[in-house]
Structure 1
Amino acid sequence: MTLDIVTLSIALFFISSIQAIVMLFIFRTIQDYPGMYYLLASCISSAVSGLFFVLCTTFICGGLAFLGSNIFCFLAILTLNIGFSKFLGLKVEKEKLWILFAFLLAGFSAFTFGINNGRWRLILFSVLIAILSFLNTDILFHHKADSFRPVTRMAAVIHMLFGLFFALRAVFTIFYRTTDVFISTLLQLMALFLSIAGILINSCCFIIMAIQRERSEKDQANERFRQIFETIPDTVIISRFDTGEIIEINEKYTEETGYTRKETIGKTSMELNLWKNDKERELFYGLIRKQGVLRNIELHITAKNGRSLSALVSASLMKMEHQTYIISVVRNISRSKELVKKLNTSEETFKAIMEQSPVSFMLTDINGHIEYVNQKFLELTGYREEEVIGQTPRILKSGFQTRKFYQTLWKTITSGKQWSGDIRNKKKNGDIIWEHICLTPILDEEGSIMRFLAVQEDISSRKLMEEELRIQARTDMLTGVMNRRYFMEKAEKRLLNARATQQIAAFLMIDIDRFKDINDTFGHNMGDKAIRIIASQCQKMMKQEDLFGRIGGEEFGALIFCSNPEEHYQIADKIRCGVENISLLDVHGGRISLRISIGLTHYRPDEDTMETLMHRADMALYQAKNDGRNRVVLI
């Protein structure tokens, strides 16, 4: 087989088709990342382009096939542009892409159906492909994602070379008059060869970028886990369920037991002699096998120096990488136990210890009336001693915990058992504080309850950090509304519910008109302010059952529910008018006009998924933009 136009066109078709099939197989894994749908569209467009070119070379519908080949080749590179922009978190230059596509269609129509001039058609095609390639090069060079910058630079060089080749091809065609693109010239062969190489390299680069992005996100998640893991004030041990081999510990473990990380990792608790007696070990493993979880079981462990420690142990089974592990949280209550023992022997000694303790203590009678609090308690709550003595702990009640919660707590400690947990209490000035509380019944010599001791630790900072991590995972930091991932999760669940309950729903794709002009004229700070104000305005106009989130850049999505389909358009137009009436002033006091375009589509329960809804809404949005912006278009 000779290396000619026919051979390379067939190779282009088969390689593009195989690449598209491969991408379909791996698409399920990487589809959550922005831009991956456009990568798949690029592969499919390349395959269709190759098929049309094969038809051209066999002279089956040659003219139309050649036209289709060029258009789908152009679309393949255009969708790459959109895919790169979305994946790298950059704004899609929609206006430029629409202009280029319009030039392609207008030029091809003129030079095919008007003036049949293959030479100028080839020049136009080469120039537009070169421009697109240089736009792709610019995107791949100018982004802030450092985790896969080497790959994007390599892809940028490929696109730059691709663009240079087609630019030279256009110049050469201007001075060298040829109209037959099927002659096996060096330029024609190079064009097909570079198309084949570009398909393979771009797909590989996209896959590598997705893998590196996933790895980067996992590293960030692991780092957040590590920070939380190390800041927990209790001992944490992770061990294999089947062998008991310890695979991970935190720093608190070394402080409490005296064993270093090197001495611990890879050994079992029996090899380290952590268990004080075998009965407690059998109880622990028996409960974890039977229930899969245990809460606040009092056990005794032995430190490296032989010292016995009393501990409250909570544990649960955890599956990871096809193996089962036990994650155990151990709280040292030796100090509390020792304090209780000293209380029974010397009340003065007890009070002296309490006053010097860095944690809060409260002592009550069997009816819950407060008899004693230490200085730390008073500092933490803001009360004076005379304000709390004789009162009950209800003065700290915040209203967050339910009646059932307190009934369970009281039932536990009045039965002679220890209780521990996190409670949200209220200070004297009304401020909320999170505390980890350990409540211990104090028994007399006959085993009857004589008092209750509460050891309270302020964990507000830890709870705040946990809440911040939770908010960051769900919220767009600029606007405060739902971010893309959380919005998509909530919307998919709501659509399933709407299908089951036959609710009437619609999806809105909202985009800020001429946002680039605002950024360029007034700066990015004003652009961010515009995004925040518009997001706030749209959120205010949503009902409680509706969903609203930031999809990306200056785009927002909304899932709304109404009693009839006609109301959807009215609501969308009210949102548009509400934004139009916003007064946003620049630094000189001048009014900045804010406008939005909205793509609207109704939810069809028997046909639609979240992806199809977004696709139709996006098409409607494009139509709204094309019709002059600042309008609602329903598809």
Structure 2
Amino acid sequence: MALDLATLSIVLFFISTIQAIVMLFIFRIVHNYPGMNYLLVSCFFTALSGLVFALRSGVIPDIPAILISNLSTFLAVFALNIGFSKFLKRDIAKKWLLTILVLFFITFFTFTLVIDDVSWRIILFSLLISGISFSNAFILLRHQLDSVRQTTRLAATVQIMFGIFFIVRGIFTFFHRTVNIFSPTPFQLLAFFISIATIIICSYCFIIMAIQRDHSEKKQADEQFRLIFETIPDTVLITSLETGEIHETNETFTEETGYSREEAIGKTPMNLNLWQNTDERDAFIEKMKEQGFCKNVEIHLFTKNRKKISVLISSNLMKMDHKMFIISVIRNISHNKELAKKLNTSEDTFKAIMEQSPVSFMLTNTNGDIEYVNKQFLELTGFLEEEVIGKNPRILKSGYQSKKFYGNLWKTITSGLQWKGEIRNRKKNGEIMWGYISLTPILDREGKIIRYLGVQEDISSRKLLEDELKIQARTDMLTGVMNRRYFIENAEKRLSEMNSIHEMAAFLMIDIDRFKDINDSFGHIMGDKAIQTVARQCQNMIKNRDLFGRIGGEEFGALIFAKNQDEYRKTADAIRYSVENINLSCEAEETIPLRISIGLSVYRPGEDTLETLMHRSDIALYQAKNDGRNRVAVL
């Protein structure tokens, strides 16, 4: 068989087809990650390109054959680009790919149907192919999956070499015009050789990446399982379903039973005399064989020193190395049962203790109905005992917590776990109170929940203090408006949000005119009163969506939003006029005229920061002062 374009096209077709078949089998072995199917699509289009080009002489006319072959090559490289992006968790460059595809069609139709110029078609085709190849290389080099780093570097190198070749081919064609695309020139033959090599290397790289990623994720999953296995506070035991031999345990097993891991591995629970009752053990095994799982089954075990303990066991079957194992989570409930027993046998003593306690206690049944409250509970909530017994604790509900909050709380305690947290409740008189509450399920001898114990500590004073400190941290204590730090934080946040919604904003720097004269003439008390009056009046003139705060001394700042610049000036003038109409009275019934000067600067998105905006407003303020005060200057 002669080495011509038709022969190489057939070779390309067979190699791509074989690659696709091989990958179908490989992908059935490893996890099917996003993007892997696009490699199959790439092989399909490569095979189609080779087949069409080989059949163009007798079956398909030249121009359709060239179009289908070139388009298939494009789509093959496209599929690689999308596949790499999806596999490596990068965004697909949709606009870039669409632009390249549109350029391809324009190039083909222009230099085939309008101007029949083979050379320009090859040049532009080569440049477009190289562009996508470099894009593929960029994706392969800029990703965050460390497990496939070495392989993606190899694939990126191949894509870069592929792109460089097509650039060279385009440059060569520019200086050495091609008359007949079907004549086997060295560059055309080399193009087929390089395409074959590239599809083989990239396909195998893709397969290796899938295997590496699958191996890495399995290793990570094993490490996570081991971490959970070792840190879970309950005993975890893995035993063979067939032989009963212990396959693995965690440290809690040693703490609860006294048997070390070395003593337990390879032995059965019966060898270690863990089961107190063989009938219990046989019933457990039968249940596992029938159902494949069990949940919260109470059994009794013996420790190494022959101490009897009560436990709840939950188990599931799992398959490892073609064998069936039982993985069991075992919780020691002996302490809870002893507590429940004590509560049941010495309820009077228990209640007597609660009556003397300075902490609020509440006892409910499993439906949540209140059975008992102590004296401290009644004093704290303001209810009488007959008003709460038999009622649900929701009589304390304030409405501040959501249904989801109470749903999570109820789910926790009904599963046998303790819940702790802060709750805002309401007293009988409607007053809100804060409480730190601990809700604990009480179990009977069989491990079933029979009551819930609620312990509440009144933390209202602490929460009020916290709220007061929060207010002090953001409020100017003299005027009650935002202090400088909180105002600047909010202004910076609003400006960053404004950039995304294209609002217009302006900053007003406001200063009380001749404030020093007021202080010197009438004293600091009147000076403070002047600052308070101006702050209150400016705050009243500011819209709800705008910000106002005290910058320092007699100086204030306002960040205002409007649709156009005329509104900014009108707002500033309105604030100035409103202050001008105020006459401050002193003790001698003398009136003090109040005047303010305002520096206004419009925010420039993309150029300004809050600091530059305030600086420009400050300059405008000094201009207003120099021009005679009691005016607005714009900069």
Q: TM-score, normalised by structure 1?
A: 0.57
Counterpart residue number, 2:237: 237
| Conservation of the 8 A alpha-carbon contact between 1:20 and 1:47 | no
Question: For each residue in 1:241-277, what CA deviation from the matched residue of structure 2 results, as whole angstroms up to 9, or x when unmatched?
Answer: 2222333333322221223334333432123322233
Query: Does 1:429 find its partner at 2:433?
Result: no
Counterpart residue number, 1:275: 275
| Conservation of the 8 A alpha-carbon contact between 1:119 and 1:177 | yes
Counterpart residue number, 1:87: 87
After superposition, the Cα gap between the structure-2 partners of 1:145 and 1:296, relative to the gap in structure 1 and judged at 3 Å, is closer
Query: Does 1:440 find its partner at 2:444?
Result: yes
Amino acid in the other structure paired with 1:64: P
| Conservation of the 8 A alpha-carbon contact between 2:316 and 2:326 | yes
Whole-Å separation in 2 of the counterparts to 1:242 and 1:43: 47
Counterpart residue number, 1:194: 194
After superposition, the Cα gap between the structure-2 partners of 1:124 and 1:186, relative to the gap in structure 1 and judged at 3 Å, is same
Counterpart residue number, 2:252: 252
After superposition, the Cα gap between the structure-2 partners of 1:386 and 1:256, relative to the gap in structure 1 and judged at 3 Å, is farther
Q: CA deviation at 1:218?
A: 4.3
What is the SS of the residue equivalent to 1:300? strand
Q: CA deviation at 1:337?
A: 4.0
| Conservation of the 8 A alpha-carbon contact between 2:49 and 2:68 | yes
Q: CA deviation at 1:372?
A: 8.7
How do 1:48-87 residues align onto structure 2 when only pairs under 5 Å count?
48-56=48-56, 61-87=61-87
After superposition, the Cα gap between the structure-2 partners of 1:178 and 1:391, relative to the gap in structure 1 and judged at 3 Å, is same
After superposition, the Cα gap between the structure-2 partners of 1:116 and 1:303, relative to the gap in structure 1 and judged at 3 Å, is same
After superposition, the Cα gap between the structure-2 partners of 1:243 and 1:119, relative to the gap in structure 1 and judged at 3 Å, is same
Higher gyration radius (CA): 2
| Conservation of the 8 A alpha-carbon contact between 1:437 and 1:456 | no
Query: Does 1:5 find its partner at 2:9?
Result: no
Q: CA deviation at 1:362?
A: 8.2
Whole-Å separation in 1 of the counterparts to 2:71 and 2:230: 57
What is the SS of the residue equivalent to 2:300? strand
| Conservation of the 8 A alpha-carbon contact between 1:48 and 1:72 | yes
Moved more, 310-319 or 345-354: 345-354
Whole-Å separation in 2 of the counterparts to 1:181 and 1:225: 60
After superposition, the Cα gap between the structure-2 partners of 1:80 and 1:296, relative to the gap in structure 1 and judged at 3 Å, is closer
Whole-Å separation in 2 of the counterparts to 1:308 and 1:80: 64
Q: CA deviation at 1:69?
A: 1.5
Amino acid in the other structure paired with 2:111: F
Counterpart residue number, 1:495: none
Query: Does 1:395 find its partner at 2:390?
Result: no
Q: CA deviation at 1:11?
A: 0.5
| Conservation of the 8 A alpha-carbon contact between 1:46 and 1:76 | yes
Amino acid in the other structure paired with 1:195: S
Q: CA deviation at 1:164?
A: 1.2
Question: For each residue in 1:536-568, what CA deviation from the matched residue of structure 2 results, as whole angstroms up to 9, or x when unmatched?
Answer: xxxxxxxxxxxxxxxxxxxxxxxxxxxxxxxxx
After superposition, the Cα gap between the structure-2 partners of 1:362 and 1:233, relative to the gap in structure 1 and judged at 3 Å, is farther
Counterpart residue number, 2:554: none
Amino acid in the other structure paired with 1:267: K
Q: CA deviation at 1:116?
A: 2.5
| Conservation of the 8 A alpha-carbon contact between 2:12 and 2:196 | yes
Question: For each residue in 1:206-231, what CA deviation from the matched residue of structure 2 results, as whole angstroms up to 9, or x when unmatched?
Answer: 23333434444445555555555445
How do 1:157-306 residues align onto structure 2 when only pairs under 5 Å count?
157-222=157-222, 225-306=225-306
What is the SS of the residue equivalent to 2:424? coil
**Any stretches of 5+ residues in structure 1 without a counterpart?**
410-418, 443-450, 459-524, 531-582, 593-635
Q: TM-score, normalised by structure 2?
A: 0.57
Query: Does 1:140 find its partner at 2:144?
Result: no
Whole-Å separation in 2 of the counterparts to 1:251 and 1:361: 36
After superposition, the Cα gap between the structure-2 partners of 1:294 and 1:80, relative to the gap in structure 1 and judged at 3 Å, is closer
| Conservation of the 8 A alpha-carbon contact between 1:339 and 1:350 | no
After superposition, the Cα gap between the structure-2 partners of 1:58 and 1:12, relative to the gap in structure 1 and judged at 3 Å, is farther
Query: Does 1:16 find its partner at 2:16?
Result: yes
| Conservation of the 8 A alpha-carbon contact between 1:34 and 1:87 | yes
Whole-Å separation in 2 of the counterparts to 1:440 and 1:266: 35
Amino acid in the other structure paired with 2:444: T
Q: CA deviation at 1:128?
A: 1.8
RMSD of aligned residue pairs (Cα, Å): 5.0
Counterpart residue number, 2:313: 313
Whole-Å separation in 2 of the counterparts to 1:352 and 1:260: 44
Amino acid in the other structure paired with 1:421: G
What is the SS of the residue equivalent to 1:149? helix
After superposition, the Cα gap between the structure-2 partners of 1:59 and 1:334, relative to the gap in structure 1 and judged at 3 Å, is closer
Whole-Å separation in 2 of the counterparts to 1:323 and 1:311: 27
Question: For each residue in 1:114-145, what CA deviation from the matched residue of structure 2 results, as whole angstroms up to 9, or x when unmatched?
Answer: 33332332222222222221121112111222
Equivalent pairs, count: 441
Whole-Å separation in 1 of the counterparts to 2:91 and 2:498: 13
Counterpart residue number, 1:558: none
Question: For each residue in 1:11-56, what CA deviation from the matched residue of structure 2 results, as whole angstroms up to 9, or x when unmatched?
Answer: 0011122333444566678896433343232121111100122124
After superposition, the Cα gap between the structure-2 partners of 1:288 and 1:120, relative to the gap in structure 1 and judged at 3 Å, is closer
Query: Does 1:155 find its partner at 2:155?
Result: yes
Query: Does 1:119 find its partner at 2:119?
Result: yes
Whole-Å separation in 2 of the counterparts to 1:172 and 1:85: 32
Whole-Å separation in 1 of the counterparts to 2:326 and 2:315: 7
Q: CA deviation at 1:183?
A: 4.1
How do 1:521-536 residues align onto structure 2 when only pairs under 5 Å count?
none
Q: CA deviation at 1:162?
A: 0.7
After superposition, the Cα gap between the structure-2 partners of 1:236 and 1:362, relative to the gap in structure 1 and judged at 3 Å, is farther
Q: CA deviation at 1:80?
A: 1.4
| Conservation of the 8 A alpha-carbon contact between 1:371 and 1:389 | no
